[in-house]
Amino acid sequence: MNPRLTSPIPMVLFTAIPTLIGQFGMLLQRVDYKSEKSSQPPMAAYDYVVVGGGSAGCVVAARLSENPQVSVLLLEAGGNPSPLSFIPLATPFLQNNPTTDWQYSTTPINSSDILLGNRPLVWPRGKGLGGSSTTNYMIYMRGNPQDFDQWANITEDPRWSYANVEKYFNKMEDYHGRYERDGNYHGKNGPLSIEPLKYAPGLENVLDAVKEAGFSVRDLNKHQQEGFSPIDFTQKRGRRHSAYSAYLEPILRRRNLKILRYSHVTKIHLDSKRKATGVSYVRKGSPSYVSAKKEVIVCGGTIGSAQLLLLSGIGPSKHLKSVGVKPLVELPVGRNLADHVITLVGPIILKQNGSVPVSSMPADVTFSSFNDFAINGDGPFTSAMGLMVAGVTSSSTSPGWPNLLYFILSLGIYDGLGAAIDQVYGSGNYTKELLHPFIGQDAHFTVLSAGKPKSRGYIELLDNNPFSKPIINPQYYSDSGNQDLQDMIEGYETIVNLYENTNALGYKLGARLAKIPNCAGYELRTRGYYECAIKTAIRTVFHPVGTCSMGKIGDPKAVVDSKLRVIGTKGLRVIDASVMPEVTNANTNAPTIMIGELGADLIKENFH
């Protein structure tokens, strides 16, 4: 037992975070809600109406309003970011929380295991300015160049090739990350601040083990190749730097940009020529309408954008009729849903042997470490649940194009960790029971994901009420060749090898993977065990895309063309993560902000 784990002050502080965010967050939101006055009522019409102020919406609103001749209205269903969202350590508790999150969940996951049962998975999505960039884990990853070349192939538009989108990544970035000196591959002086990992107990052991296992430690944002790296985060002085902080906060006084919070858009209006003329929205309980003189730009995210198009009669007509929505434009909205399914590999118990220091997350969370955060922007409060290393590798079926993703967390097991994870993931008492025997021990976990999944799910309306939550069925592991599962098994082997068969982790720290009780019938380190573990600890790492995929006109999967215009309509675009026809082998915030930048440029082509 690590004696520091029993020290009452830090533990009280640490376990108080969910309550703080819950109760205090509720209070803060009430104040914010009241402060959203109608002192300056919106105009009846704007050139551009942007729906949703998330990762992409903030960028679009900011870039369009750079031209003072153009009027822009941004409608956001939620409020200002919670002040607590700026503390990275508080991140997990922003999820599944009514003040900061939409609290979506999937249809029950059909998995044969006992512990997880036929249970829905929680699917968090940030609500409020900054969207999911205000509640996410801040990992900054561009993706693999081939991921973008694939988009260019699908759309037959070289605009989306890495050779072209690279300049938008550079434009976005104010890079001060781990590889700052390798300046050729990163942007400087852009709006979005990127900083290196600042708190990582056991990091050197992991990096040594990576090399022992035959992988490189390299910059995964420099033309991504197989390897591992300490993570770069979207932070500024250790605080969260969301799309709101980066793009909107500096321009809140711009006179041609009006931002309306607590404004939930319920319908896009199309005229008889299928031109978008405006939107209906409900602001603080009152219904309103606003006209768009030039365009309506939907930035509601993979769930919100699909839902809004469907509610407006844009989607599969059969489905729309079944829920009482009049079909206007036949498109596969909601269909091409891809997500990064994960399994949580762990706990991997570390037994400190001799002089190797392995401190762990909760033990280091103290009042003085809060000071360190407040004054220097450093220490464990900058950590999102102990995330420290990211990795990408290729399975045997994808040589030269990594298709597996890893995130390594250093997280000592304290009483309450399991419950916190279950709260975030809606996994009942599963993690609580799994971790119970290990309370007080140092541990690592690995989030392992199928980075280029073949399985596709869908989003549909439950009914025609815009305030109902849509049906989300991710259909994980449904690909006909069962390739996603086979790839994941290879990834599992890679992680077990990295931890148990290396000197740096296996011998020096005595790293051992704890057995999942549910898979007790299988021998550890066998394919049967891995398959059981993968299906038991099935979760998402929150990267759904594809419900408004871009593609060539005539492509049965395409909802928008390569200029992000909704096919068969005028004056209507979707600009957000939903347009990705295939998910990147990386986290999706950076490419979504890039889509916002590129999308804004596409609209500006029409400026005179």
Ligand X SMILES: Cc1cc2nc3c(=O)[nH]c(=O)nc-3n(C[C@H](O)[C@H](O)[C@H](O)COP(=O)(O)OP(=O)(O)OC[C@H]3O[C@@H](n4cnc5c(N)ncnc54)[C@H](O)[C@@H]3O)c2cc1C
Query: CB of residue 143 vs ligand NAG: minimum separation in angstroms?
Result: 12
Query: CB of residue 240 vs ligand X: minimum separation in angstroms?
Result: 10
Q: Are 384 and 88 in contact (CB under 8 A)?
A: yes
Stretch that binds ligand NAG, among 4-12, 144-152, 196-204, 329-337 (CB under 6 A): 144-152
Q: Are 132 and 301 in contact (CB under 8 A)?
A: yes
Q: Which of 589, 585, 492 is nearest to 220 (CA)?
A: 585
Q: How far apart are CA 470 and CA 544, in angstroms?
A: 14
Residue 153 binding partner per list ligand NAG, ligand X, none, with a CB distance cut-off of 5 to 8 Å that depends on partner kind = ligand NAG
Known binder of ligand: residue 12?
Answer: no
Query: CB of residue 485 vs ligand NAG: minimum separation in angstroms?
Result: 13
Output the CA–CA distances (angstroms, integers) from residue 582 to 54, 218, 458, in the order listed: 20, 25, 14
Residue 547 binding partner per list ligand NAG, ligand X, none, with a CB distance cut-off of 5 to 8 Å that depends on partner kind = none
- Mention every residue, 6+ apart, whose C-beta is less than 8 A from residue 168: 594, 597, 598, 601
Query: CB of residue 110 vs ligand NAG: minimum separation in angstroms?
Result: 4
Contacts with ligand X, 87-126, as mask; x by CB under 6 A? --------x----------------------------xxx
Query: CB of residue 387 vs ligand X: minimum separation in angstroms?
Result: 8
Residue 363, Cα to own-chain centre: how many angstroms?
Answer: 28
Does residue 53 interact with ligand X by CB under 6 A? yes
Host H or E run for residue 316: none
Q: Are 327 and 464 in contact (CB under 8 A)?
A: no
Query: CB of residue 593 vs ligand X: minimum separation in angstroms?
Result: 8
Residue 371 binding partner per list ligand X, ligand NAG, none, with a CB distance cut-off of 5 to 8 Å that depends on partner kind = none
Bridge partners of residue 408, in order along the sequence: 389, 446
Output the CA–CA distances (angstroms, integers) from residue 507 to 212, 500, 504, 512, in the order listed: 12, 8, 6, 10
Q: Among residues 160 and 169, whose Cβ is nearest to ligand NAG?
A: 160
Does residue 369 interact with ligand X by CB under 6 A? no
**What dihedral angle (degrees, nearest 10) is formed by the CA atoms of 378, 384, 388, 392?**
-140
Residue 125 binding partner per list ligand NAG, ligand X, none, with a CB distance cut-off of 5 to 8 Å that depends on partner kind = ligand X
Per DSSP, helices labelled H in 213-267 are 243
Contacts with ligand X, 571-590, as mask; x by CB under 6 A? -----xx---------xxxx
- Mention every residue, 6+ apart, whose C-beta is less than 8 A from residue 26: 98, 99
Number of residues that bind ligand X (CB under 6 A): 42
Does residue 127 interact with ligand X by CB under 6 A? yes
| Site residues (CB under 6 A) for ligand NAG, limited to 496-525 | 507, 510
Q: How far apart are CA 379 and CA 373, in angstroms?
A: 6
Query: CB of residue 281 vs ligand X: minimum separation in angstroms?
Result: 7
Residue 510 binding partner per list ligand NAG, ligand X, none, with a CB distance cut-off of 5 to 8 Å that depends on partner kind = ligand NAG
Residue 23 binding partner per list ligand NAG, ligand X, none, with a CB distance cut-off of 5 to 8 Å that depends on partner kind = none
Q: Among residues 274 and 515, whose Cβ is nearest to ligand NAG?
A: 515
Query: CB of residue 450 vs ligand NAG: minimum separation in angstroms?
Result: 18
DSSP 77-125: SS-SPPGGGGSGGGGGGGTT-TTTB--EEPSPP----SSS-S-PPEE--
Does residue 399 interact with ligand NAG by CB under 6 A? no
Choice from 29, 97, 111, 135 touching ligand X (CB under 6 A): 135
Residue in 269, 319, 543, 608 annotated catalytic: 543
Host H or E run for residue 260: strand 257-260
Q: How far apart are CA 315 and CA 389, in angstroms?
A: 40
**What dihedral angle (degrees, nearest 10) is formed by the CA atoms of 306, 307, 311, 313?**
20
Q: Is the dihedral of CA 148, 545, 90, 364 positive or negative?
A: negative
Choice from 21, 51, 62, 309 touching ligand X (CB under 6 A): 51
Q: Are 55 and 592 in contact (CB under 8 A)?
A: yes
Q: Is the dihedral of CA 488, 138, 175, 361 positive or negative?
A: negative
Choice from 60, 73, 139, 548 touching ligand X (CB under 6 A): 139
Q: Among residues 85 and 205, whose Cβ is nearest to ligand X?
A: 85
| Site residues (CB under 6 A) for ligand NAG, limited to 419-438 | 428-429
Q: What is the number of residues in the chain?
A: 608
Does residue 354 interact with ligand NAG by CB under 6 A? yes
Does residue 499 interact with ligand X by CB under 6 A? no
Does residue 265 interact with ligand X by CB under 6 A? yes
Per DSSP, helices labelled H in 351-392 are 361-364, 367-376
- Mention every residue, 6+ apart, whose C-beta is less than 8 A from residue 473: 106, 107, 457, 458, 459, 460
Q: Among residues 516 and 574, whose Cβ is nearest to ligand X?
A: 574
Residue at shortest CB range from ligand NAG: 510
Q: How far apart are CA 173 and CA 156, in angstroms?
A: 27
Residue at shortest CB range from ligand X: 54
Residue 459 binding partner per list ligand NAG, ligand X, none, with a CB distance cut-off of 5 to 8 Å that depends on partner kind = none
Query: CB of residue 7 vs ligand X: minimum separation in angstroms?
Result: 30
Q: Among residues 110 and 368, whose Cβ is nearest to ligand NAG?
A: 110
Output the CA–CA distances (angstroms, integers) from residue 37 to 33, 204, 283, in the order listed: 8, 52, 11
Does residue 351 interact with ligand NAG by CB under 6 A? yes
Q: Among residues 322 and 482, whose Cβ is nearest to ligand NAG?
A: 482
Longest dimension (CA), the chain: 76
Q: Among residues 259 and 331, whose Cβ is nearest to ligand X?
A: 259
Choice from 11, 50, 56, 325 touching ligand X (CB under 6 A): 56
Number of residues that bind ligand NAG (CB under 6 A): 12
Q: Active-site residue 543, yes or no? A: yes
Q: How far apart are CA 285 and CA 282, in angstroms?
A: 6
Tokens for 529, please give them.
Answer: 């065990």
Q: Which of 35, 4, 26, 572 is nearest to 314 (CA)?
A: 572
Q: Among residues 19 and 353, whose Cβ is nearest to ligand NAG?
A: 353
Choice from 353, 368, 397, 464 touching ligand NAG (CB under 6 A): 353
Binding site for ligand X (CB under 6 A): 51-57, 75-78, 95, 124-128, 131-133, 135-139, 264-265, 299-302, 304, 308, 542-543, 576-577, 587-590, 592
Binding site for ligand NAG (CB under 6 A): 110, 146, 149-150, 153, 351, 353-354, 428-429, 507, 510
Annotated binding-site members for FAD: 265
Active-site residue list: 543
